[in-house]
Every structure is written in C-alpha cells, then in structure tokens.
Structure 1
Amino acid sequence: MQDPLESPWPPTSGSVAHRARHWYQLGHEPGLPGGHVLYPHGLAHLVIVLDGGPCEPAVFGLRTRPVEVGVPVGARSLDVCMTPRVAHAVFGLPMNRLVDAPVELREATGRAGERLVGALRAASSWPEVFVLADRFLRDRLGGYVPETDVVTRAWRLLAGRGGRLPVAELCRRTGMSERLLELRFREQVGLPPKASARLLRLWRALRLLARRRPGARVAIECGFYDQAHLARDCKALTGRRPSWFARADRAVRQHVEHFGFVQDWLVGVDDHDEGG
C-alpha cells in the first residue's frame, strides 16, 4: 500500500463517521522523523501501527501535556480521531481514567480489538483498512444515539464556541446542574467542563498561530484575557511558547491543521448555538 500522509474517510450513511467525523492519519511523509506527538486538545485517539513494532495499539483520551507515540520510521499507522464522548461509547471506559494515561486496545476491548488489529495488518489496501476500522467502530457504538445524548449536546455546544461558553450557560442549555454536568463530563469526556474548555480554547489558538496570525489578535479572538494569558496556558499545556507554533515547520503545522479539521466539522454542520 502507498502511504499518504493523511486521508479522510468520507461519511457513510448515518453511521459512525457521519456523526464523529473520523480522520485517519496514515504513515509518515518520506524524510520526516519517526514518532508522532499528540498535543493537548479536545479529541481522543485510537492509534494502531499496522506494521507491528514496539508501539502497542492504544486508546488515548484527553491530555494536559504532550504525549509522543513511538511510530517507527516508515511504518504505516492508523490514527482514528474522535470526540471523547464517542470514545467513551466505543470503548466503555471511564474517560477520566484515560486523561494523560493511554490504555492498550486489548485491555479496552479484549479479543475484539485483537481481531481488528490482525485484520488491519493483513489488509491489502487503504480502502480495506478504512472499511474494517469503520465497521469495528459502528459495532462498538451499540445503542449510542448522539441526537438524544445530553453529554454529546453539551460537548458540541462547548466545541462550537471554541471553549468560550460559561459553565452556567452550558448548564442552562442542557438542563443539568453544575454538579451533574461535572460528574458526567469526568466519566464520559475525561475532564470537567471548565478544563475541557481550556483545551478547546488553546487548540483553536494553536491553529491560528500556525497560520501566522498575530499572537495578540489570536489571544483576544480565542477568549484569553491577553497575550500573556495565552502564553502561560500554552507553556503549561504544551511545554512550548506560542512563538514556537507560529514558527513551526511543516510537520507541526500539518498536525495542528489535521485536528483542526475535526473541530471545524463539529462547528460547521448542526452544532451551532441554535440562535443564541
């Protein structure tokens, strides 16, 4: 199989990809070093190296620091990105357990995950890989219906505002008390609403910085008090200053834009704030 750097799998009628908008990152561009850094943002991951190697297939939840995934140079890899609520429905794990602590796929899914990995590694083409992965995810979702799920609705509202929605307003729009909303978020998202909003604000800022937008404008647009506030959060969560992302090379810019696509979709289809 030829290894594209990344490739979207289009929505399939009313299924997982239609609602979660999975995005698959495949392999590495020739000349780029091995390894794949997952910076803090608002998505969960299923990472499978298709050629085997030291990196076990694993599920990654939300992160408050960068995590490096040891993908061997030249190896084909599959990175399925999904909202944390979808990851909770697929893997059935308390998502607060996955914060900064990935879990091996076989621990999360047992024999089903092992069968998936075997089938993916035996696949002869990327379309076959996509079909196998999407079928596995659809089967695992079971009775999850996003249209009726209150945590999904809360997450969409928060992501749709780039994290700039007060918790009190989120409670009002979902009909949940602040205490119940926090409990549900810890279990099904991983972090409470306020901490989740912090990740979403920063990730939007990193995307804009990678597009060479001025730091002061980015800070105001993304809901930070000022540029110093943005710098503090960026350093605390990524270990780097905003200027590093503004000067980032193609590999980092590709990473930032790659995950930006998923969040753009969350905002762009049916997740607006419903007229105020």
Structure 2
Amino acid sequence: MEGDTNPDGSIAKPWKLCTLQQVEDLKTLIKIFPLWTSSIFLTTPSGIQTSLVVLQALTMDRRLGPHFKIPAGSILVFVPIYFCIAIILSDRLVRPMWQKLTGRSPTHLQLIGVGHVLNVASMAISALVELERRTTATSHHHLSSQPGGDTMPMSALWLLPQLAIVGAGEAFHFPGQVSLYYQEFPTSLKSMSTAMIGLIIGISFYLSTAVIGCIRRVTGWLPDNIDNGKVDYVYWMLVAVGVLNFGYYIVCAKLYKYRNLEMVEDGGST
C-alpha cells in the first residue's frame, strides 16, 4: 500500500478508490442508459424531417394572399408553435382526462411512450404528403422551367399536419424525459440531468446528417432535384426505424425499475 500513498499520507491515485455511494450512482446511470439511447433514435428522425421539409417547401406554393410568401426555412417555426400549444393542452386537458379515466396521472415513461407514437405517426403522414407532392410535381413538371418555379399548384400548408404532430410529440417526450432524469439521477448528478436533453438533441442532429449522407451515397432517393427522387421512401424508412425503436423502448421501460418509487406513487405528476 506504500506505493499508493504520497509522502504526506494522502492517496496518490484517489480515482482508483470509489465509495459505495459512487458505485450505486454508476449503477443508476447504467440502468437508465438504455432508455436514454432510445431517445436518440427518437429525435434523429425529427432532425432528418427538419432538413427534408425545407426542401419540400422550396418546391411548393408558399403564397399567403397576393403579397406574401412564406420563406421556406420559416416553415419550421410551426414546430415550436405547435409544441407550446400542445404543452398547454397536455397540462390542462390530456393529463386531467388521463387521471380521470385511469385514476392516476401518466408516468414519465408513459409520456415518453406517447411521444414515440406521435413521432412515428408524423413520419407516416410526411410520407403520404410527399407522395402527393411528388405526384403533383410530376404532372406539372413544366412549371420547373418557369421563373419562380416553386409555384407548383400544391400549397406548402400541406406540410403543417406533420409538423403539428411532431411538435405535439415533443411536448410529451421532452418534458417526460426531463422529469425522469431529474427524478432518477443521483443527488450528486442532479445538475447534469437537464443537460441530457441537450446532449440527445446534439447527437441526434449530427446522426441525422450522417444518415442523410449515407442515403445519398447508397440510394437514389435524395438527388439534387427531389422531384426526381423518392423522399417518401426516406420517410417510410423512418417509420420502420421508429417502430423498431418504439419496441426497443417498450422493452427498456418494462424492465426499468424506478429508483425513487415513492415519488412515482405519491408525486401525482409522475
């Protein structure tokens, strides 16, 4: 043991020695890690959708009245708008109704599960809208040779339902994740719990960029002109990934045992 101490009697390599509490804290993080990874694959499709929606909007009729046209990039502003609306409806309507029907408030894991379902639904609607957009573009391909060729006779407002659903999904799974991590993280790591959401978003958007690049290299679904591609195939692929990830999440949620079970039973909002 002499080699493990400094001349002044202090531990030379304190990181080699862990307290029982530190071991328990690490076990808690390992236990919650599978749930956290499922959230990465939940947010990645939203990142891909963000890029594709702008490309779709560029080819569609974005006019609102005779003097105003929605900028293609601004179409994404509807996601946080729907997010805020869904947060209000969730707190004032959905949760009280859930409690009235079931006798208890939805748990954090149930809220995240609702977010999974809505995310998959958003990708499915995106695929159907894109199929209609591509069909319309094919039947009016002559417009692409005209100035302002984005005047395809299909309104960009057709993109709003999918954005509304993905915004609603985020209003369920993001608050659910924040509450879950804050409740379940060890006391010494409470300050890190809310940062986990930012980490998920960062990883997911980097991963979405990598997935888009891979799709462009391996398939012909995303050419420079998306009218000649198969963007709806990309969305259907995301539906399949979302369904598989939801199954993975259900398994993780079923196996997960709350660390603070008392808070789940008595907290009312958990």
Coarse TM-score class (shorter-chain normalised) = under 0.3
Q: Choose between structure 1 and 2: higher helix proportion.
A: 2
TM-score (norm 2): 0.26
Larger relative contact order, structure 1 or 2 (CA cutoff 8 Å, min sep 6): 2
